[in-house]
């Protein structure tokens, strides 16, 4: 608390009677409705929290959001559940029906060889009662399977998935019959593996291919922006530390020459200034705008990935959003939040730059040598002591007059006791370059 704040507090408290103090402390918000007081309390709480949070916190929050967005993007690329199909399609009788497809990866489940051998050997009986117009049931008896039928027939059909009407001469089931669909077989009979879809696999579905390209561009742009943000945070930290060390060296030199009490107090608070008040150390906002634009481009690219829902496969099979598509939407929102946080940090740094410039201008206009500070410190203490003593006399006189008119008694005693002097204290921090600041006090007495 500076001398000016002390004098203002003394004068204000001396001119308010006890009844007025009680009314201000207790019944200040009685005239407001309850909802208005609640809003004021919430706003004051938010302000207290914002003061306790370091100014560089938006950068770390933006970095956290960008890392989460990168993780979700990679998960979307590797996932096989980007969308779910209301109408699953069948690749082949020996493949399980596909109900989920990924943006770049599919999961296809083929029947195991052991399960197929068991079906051919008649060890698996699915239904004993089969209509005459339906295909023969698997393995009603082992003797029903002709001796000349081998597993090669199934391999031939496996290699020719287009032929879905005949598997072998009227012996083996085909997957188009509902009674022999993949849902009737246990999961143990299937072997699942992932297939990466390329442009050649997609075929003539242009929107699918375009959505994949937009997704890859957005993911690469987001990863690059995250790396640039990490480099920016590291470089800003090193720059702030070097500025703090240079300012500390200059203060040591000044302290050795002047032995000023003010400089000693500032030297004790240097560490707190570096850790909690980065505002006066960081005035360079270069790089923030470009990284913010990169995050917005990542959001735009990944949003265009949703063109996948207009592709041919989604029009035919009716696609619905699955877990990976929802994660992609969350990642897009996180890119936007990271961009806004970086812009808010850039706005703070620009405000700090204006404050430093204003302090320099004030220092040039009101440049007083440090030797005048020691000569004026004694006068300042005498003024504060005199006003404090006058306040005690006013309080004693109020009790003697049995709580009379507070204003008249205060004015009468102030005219008799001490003639207070008004002064103005301004602390400016100036230096020859833009990296550090010096503290100078200008005292004007009237």
In this prediction, residue 342 carries a pLDDT of: 92
Confidence of residue 245 (pLDDT cuts 50, 70, 90): confident
**How much is the mean pLDDT over the chain?**
65
Residue length of the chain? 446
pLDDT digits (tens, 9 = 90+) for 186-239: 666 677 878 777 666 666 778 888 998 999 999 999 999 999 999 988 888 777
pLDDT of 433 higher than 70: no
- Are 99 and 319 spatial neighbours (Cβ–Cβ below 8 Å)? no
d(CA 149, CA 156): 12
pTM: 0.55
The position carrying tokens 């918000």 is: 29
pLDDT digits (tens, 9 = 90+) for 251-264: 677 666 665 554 45
pLDDT of 74 higher than 80: yes
Q: Which DSSP helix (H) or strand (E) runs through 260?
A: none
Mean pLDDT for the stretch of residues 170-192: 52
Which of 54-58, 256-260, 393-397 shows the highest mean pLDDT?
Answer: 54-58
Identify any residues that bridge with 190 across adjacent strands, giving them in sequence order: 111
Confidence of residue 379 (pLDDT cuts 50, 70, 90): low
d(CA 75, CA 356): 46
- Are 328 and 72 spatial neighbours (Cβ–Cβ below 8 Å)? yes
d(CA 388, CA 264): 27
- Are 311 and 257 spatial neighbours (Cβ–Cβ below 8 Å)? no
Among 146-150, 196-200, 304-308, 389-393, the range scoring the smallest mean pLDDT is: 146-150
Torsions phi, psi of 105, nearest 5? -135, 135
With H, G, I as helix, E, B as strand and everything else as coil, classify residue 193: strand
d(CA 232, CA 227): 9
Q: Which DSSP helix (H) or strand (E) runs through 98?
A: strand 98-101
């Amino acid at each position: 608390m500076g001398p000016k704040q002390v004098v203002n507090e003394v004068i204000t408290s001396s001119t308010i009677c006890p009844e007025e103090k009680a009314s201000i402390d207790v019944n200040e918000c009685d005239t407001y409705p309850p909802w208005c007081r609640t809003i004021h309390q919430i706003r004051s709480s938010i302000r207290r929290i914002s003061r306790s949070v370091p100014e560089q916190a938006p950068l770390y929050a933006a970095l956290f959001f960008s890392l989460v967005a990168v993780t979700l993007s990679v998960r979307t690329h590797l996932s096989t559940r980007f969308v779910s199909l209301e109408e699953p399609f069948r690749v082949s009788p020996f493949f399980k029906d596909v109900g989920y497809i990924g943006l770049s990866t599919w999961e296809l489940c083929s029947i195991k060889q052991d399960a197929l051998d068991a079906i051919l050997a008649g060890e698996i009986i699915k239904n004993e009662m089969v209509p005459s117009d339906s295909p023969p049931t698997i393995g009603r008896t082992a003797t029903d399977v002709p001796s000349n039928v081998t597993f090669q027939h199934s391999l031939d059909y496996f290699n020719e998935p287009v032929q879905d009407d005949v598997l072998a001469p009227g012996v083996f089931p085909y997957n188009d019959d509902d009674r022999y669909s993949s849902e009737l077989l246990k999961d143990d009979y299937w072997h699942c593996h992932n297939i990466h879809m390329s442009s050649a696999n997609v075929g003539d579905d242009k929107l699918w291919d375009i959505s994949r390209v937009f997704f890859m561009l957005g993911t690469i742009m987001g990863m690059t922006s995250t790396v640039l943000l990490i480099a920016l945070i590291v470089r800003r930290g090193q720059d702030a530390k070097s500025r703090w060390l240079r300012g500390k060296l200059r203060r040591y030199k000044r302290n050795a020459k002047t032995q000023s009490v003010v400089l000693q107090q500032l030297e004790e608070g240097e560490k707190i200034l570096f850790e909690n008040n980065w505002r006066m150390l960081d005035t360079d906002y270069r790089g923030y705008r470009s990284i913010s634009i990169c995050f917005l481009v990542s959001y735009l690219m990944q949003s265009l990935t949703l063109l996948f829902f207009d592709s041919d496969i989604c029009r035919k099979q009716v696609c619905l959003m699955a877990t990976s598509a929802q994660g992609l939407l969350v990642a897009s929102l996180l890119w936007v939040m990271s961009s806004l946080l970086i812009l808010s940090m850039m706005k703070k740094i620009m405000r700090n730059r204006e404050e430093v410039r204003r302090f320099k201008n004030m220092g040039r206009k009101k440049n007083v040598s440090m030797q005048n500070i020691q000569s004026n410190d004694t006068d300042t203490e005498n003024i504060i002591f005199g006003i404090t003593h006058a306040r005690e006399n006013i309080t004693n006189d109020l009790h003697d007059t049995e709580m009379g008119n507070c204003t008249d008694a205060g004015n009468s005693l102030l005219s008799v006791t001490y003639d207070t002097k008004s002064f103005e204290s301004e602390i400016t921090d100036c230096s020859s370059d833009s990296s550090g600041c010096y503290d100078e006090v200008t005292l004007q007495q009237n």
